Amino acid sequence: MSNTFASHFLPSDKASEIIVPDYQRSYSWKKEQIDLFIQDLIEYEKTGNYYFGHFICELHDGRYELVDGQQRVTTFILFLIVCRQFKSELSLKPNWYDLINNFKTVGYDQELLGRIISNLPAFLEQAKSLPKSDKITPEELLESLGEEEPLTDSQFLLLRALLHFHEAFESLALLNKGQVEDYIKVIGEASCSLHKTEDKSVAVNIFEMHNTRGVALTTMEVVKAKLMQAAYKLSTSVDSAAKNVKCIQESFGQIYKLESKLKNKFFDGELTLDQLFANHLRIIDDGKKTTEEQFKSPSNTGSKDVLSYLDEQLAKRKDEEGIEYVKNLSAAFKDSMQFMAETVHEWDRKERLVGDCVILRRDRSVRFLLLCNKVFKGDFSSLPEGVLGLWEKLLFTYNFHDGFYRVSHNKRSNFEKLFAEFSEDPKQLQQLLEKYLHESFNPSRANNLPEKVRNYLEDKANRDRLLNSAYNWWPEKTRYMLYKFEADKLSEKPLQQLRAIMHDKTSIEHILPREWSEHIESASERESMVEPINKCINGIGNLLIISSSKNSALGNKHPEVKKYDDLCAAGTYSEHSSQKWNDPKEWENIIRVRGERIIEYMLNKLVGAPSSEK
């Protein structure tokens, strides 16, 4: 019995205090892992001999701080919480329920979890009106709880696990209420191994490629392990190692605390921690990047390139230089995380172009914003007026001309050079962006980008391409043109509705469906309309950004019965209902008039007035 879960965590029949430190990965088990846990309980309740894995803990004044194994321990605690609903007192020794009060998850989740534990019957009663745990959404759970702040991802998974365990006893009947003690004994008597340490040498024992029942480590978790390992190995004493590793842990505690804000509030879909870190490395790293060459690495944002880059940086720094690097990198990324999760949204409320530029070109705009944060130290009042508009115009026009594609790839654009010049003299940022708009990245092929793009689009063949086949032309540009055409006419509430669509999975809707002919009863009328309608059916005037779910719901319905104002109560979304879609003779005209309006908007607002009018 010397290597059982009970012997390690309830020695002498007394429950140990178990803490998940804030720098740890948040709770991440989903239905698949919970189901495996339940299946193990059912199987080994009969046979015994269950193996519960290896655990690594730091021991502090009798408290266990979990470094490896927190997913398993947290899941077992959640299971115990539900078991107590069905059997309030156990005849088992030790009293396993003591573990519940002696367990603390990460600080940013503990307060909510504690309230749920204290009021579990009420929580379960409220949940009866909700979908089953595998169908429930964070929004439904949030509304049921009456909480104001959005749930973190881990809070949602913690609460969903409680509901799933309760369902396993009740509606699913996977678990037998009369066998609660037998299930608990499966874990209590399970074989496991425990590595305990009283100093930070535990950092070197973190297994980078450890897989927790199918939930693999993220790139960010491997990065954390590498930085902690480096800090420990490069330290000259146990005390300095503890201090240096703790510094990194504290930074990651703040980083993980902000993770759900980063994802839930981003402008264009979900921005993950791994994606932000890749962009941070590219433009900030430890805060000392300034040159064009430095801004080119890591060349890709994939996990392999990010980790290889980090290994190279760690390998070339020794002793105090290495320690300074890992501490500065951790602190700098914490700053970038706070900026992107919180400050950038405050900035966007004053300057909507912040989010618009991210929607236009995510990675490049994230890097530009991160560099602005570093250079101006969060004081965006010192940012030259009109800079964001110039940045948007450069992103929209730099590749929007024939000359861009007639040169080798490495001569098409060089944003790294722009970033280096920006770092060198931030006071000249406005003039710098104007210079690139005037000269482009390759002056021999294109100068005066707005004029080039205007000439390109005033060419009849190119204009017709937009009016007749924008859907198959350039998704990135088409999507942004449709978004901006609507956004610039909207007040705050409908703008937020439109932004919500952009954050969700979007689709490009054909207002008049491509299978339009099935809505025309007269064969002769159908035949007369084939050429003019098919010519413009994919034109930009017939396209609208909507959510993927709305697109599926609308299908190929007649445009007269389609409704869009539930998505956005203004702009084209509400104008649609007042148009004469009941008369097929008006279809082509409606599409072409709106298409011309979008192109004129783009020329005037995204490209700019002709030079003669300036």
The 10s digit of each residue's pLDDT in 65-112 is 988 899 999 999 999 999 999 999 998 888 899 999 999 999 889 999
- Tell me how far apart the alpha carbons of residues 362 and 381 are, in angstroms, rounded to a whole number: 23
Within 10 A of 66 (CB to CB), how many other CB atoms are there?
Answer: 21
Q: What percent of the chain has pLDDT over 90?
A: 64
Average pLDDT over residues 11-37: 90
Q: What percent of the chain has pLDDT over 70?
A: 95
| Residues 162-207: tens digit of each pLDDT | 999 999 999 999 999 999 999 999 999 999 998 887 765 554 455 4
In DSSP terms, 509 is beta-bridged to 544
Q: Where does the pLDDT of residue 470 fall: very low under 50, low under 70, confident under 90, or very high at 90 and above?
A: very high
pLDDT exceeds 60 at position 7 = yes
pLDDT of residue 541 exceeding 50: yes
Count of helix runs (H) and strand runs (E) in the chain: 29, 9
> What is the SS3 assignment for 571?
helix
More confident residue, 132 or 608: 132
Indicate if the pLDDT at residue 122 is higher than 80: yes
Q: How many angstroms separate the CA atoms of 375 and 394, rounded?
A: 20
pLDDT of residue 148: 78
Measured CA to CA, the distance from residue 303 to residue 309 in angstroms comes to 10
Domain residue ranges in the chain: 5-198, 216-376, 384-457, 462-607
Q: How far is CA 97 from CA 10, 17, 19, 126, 475, in A?
A: 11, 12, 16, 24, 56
Q: What are phi and psi of 533, to 5 degrees?
A: -75, -45
Residues 6+ apart with CB under 8 A from 236: none
Give pLDDT, residue 113: 94
pLDDT for position 539: 96
The pLDDT, as a whole number, for residue 200 is: 56
Amino acid of residue 188 = G
For 275, the 3-state DSSP assignment is helix
- Residues whose CB is less than 8 angstroms from the CB of residue 363 and which lie 6 or more positions away in sequence, other chains included: 279, 301
Which of 123, 149, 150, 124 lies closest to 137 in space, CA to CA? 150
Instruction: Band the pLDDT of 12: cuts 50, 70, 90.
Output: confident
What integer pLDDT is reported at residue 160 of this predicted model?
Answer: 97
Question: What's the distance, CA 107 to chain centroid?
Answer: 21
What's the CA gap between 597 and 588, in Å, rounded? Answer: 14
Span 244-296, pLDDT tens digits: 988 998 999 999 889 888 877 789 888 999 999 999 999 999 999 999 999 99
Tokens of 578: 């007042």
pLDDT greater at residue 22 or residue 307: 307
Question: Identity (one letter) of the amino acid at 510?
Answer: H
Are 507 and 588 in contact by the 8 Å Cβ rule? The answer is no
Q: Supply the pLDDT for residue 595.
A: 96
Confidence class for position 1, pLDDT limits 50, 70, 90: very low
Position 201 scores a pLDDT of 54
Beta-strand runs (E) in 487-542: 506-510
CA distance 540 to 508: 10
In angstroms, the CA 395 to CA 388 distance is 11
Pairing of strands 191-197, 103-104: unpaired
User: pLDDT band at residue 132, thresholds of 50, 70 and 90?
Assistant: very high
In the structure, what pLDDT confidence band is assigned to residue 155 with cuts at 50, 70 and 90? very high
Task: Report the C-alpha gap between 326 and 241 in whole angstroms.
Answer: 12
Q: Note whether 446 and 403 are within 8 A (CB).
A: yes
Contact 186, 41 (CB under 8 A): yes
Rounded-to-5 percentages of helix, strand, coil across the chain: 65, 5, 30
pLDDT at 208: 40
In sign, the C-alpha dihedral spanning 394, 397, 399, 403 is negative
Cis peptide before 298 (omega within 30 of 0): yes
In this predicted structure, the answer to whether residue 461 has a pLDDT above a threshold of 60 is: yes
Q: Kindly report the CA angle at 257 between 244 and 132, in degrees rounded to 5? A: 140
In 459-514, where does DSSP find H-type helix?
A: 460-469, 475-487, 492-503
Mean residue pLDDT of the chain comes to 90
Q: What is the pLDDT of residue 215?
A: 61
Q: What is the pLDDT of residue 614?
A: 39
Residue with the larger pLDDT of the pair 560 and 196:
560
Q: Check residues 23 and 96 and name the one with the higher pLDDT.
A: 96
CA-nearest of 328, 335, 339 to 248 is 328
- Return the CA Rg of the chain: 29
- Angstrom distance (rounded) from CA 167 to CA 134: 10
| CA dihedral sign, ordered 11, 13, 17, 19 | positive
Query: In 132-189, where does DSSP find H-type helix?
Result: 138-145, 153-169, 180-188
Bridge partners, 51 (sequence order):
191
**Are 134 and 92 a contacting pair, CB within 8 Å?**
no
Backbone angles phi, psi at 507, to 5 degrees: -130, 155
For residues 60 and 197, what is the distance between their CA atoms, to the nearest angstrom? 9
Helix H or strand E encompassing 545: strand 543-547
Reduce the DSSP state of residue 604 to 3 states and report it. helix
Q: Which tops the pLDDT comparison, 401 or 191?
A: 191
C-alpha to C-alpha distance for 105 and 238, rounded to whole angstroms: 27
3-state secondary structure 336-370: HHHHHHHHHHHHHHHCCHHHHHHHHCHHHHHHHHH
pLDDT number for residue 609 = 58
- pLDDT at res. 327: 97
Q: How far is CA 584 from CA 87, 180, 526, 529, 577, in A?
A: 69, 68, 9, 9, 15
Quick check: 557 pLDDT over 80? yes
Query: Are 487 and 435 in contact, with CB atoms under 8 Å apart?
Result: no
343: pLDDT strictly greater than 90? yes
CA 309, CA 305: separation in Å to the nearest integer?
6
Report the alpha-carbon distance of residue 530 to residue 510 in Å, rounded. 16
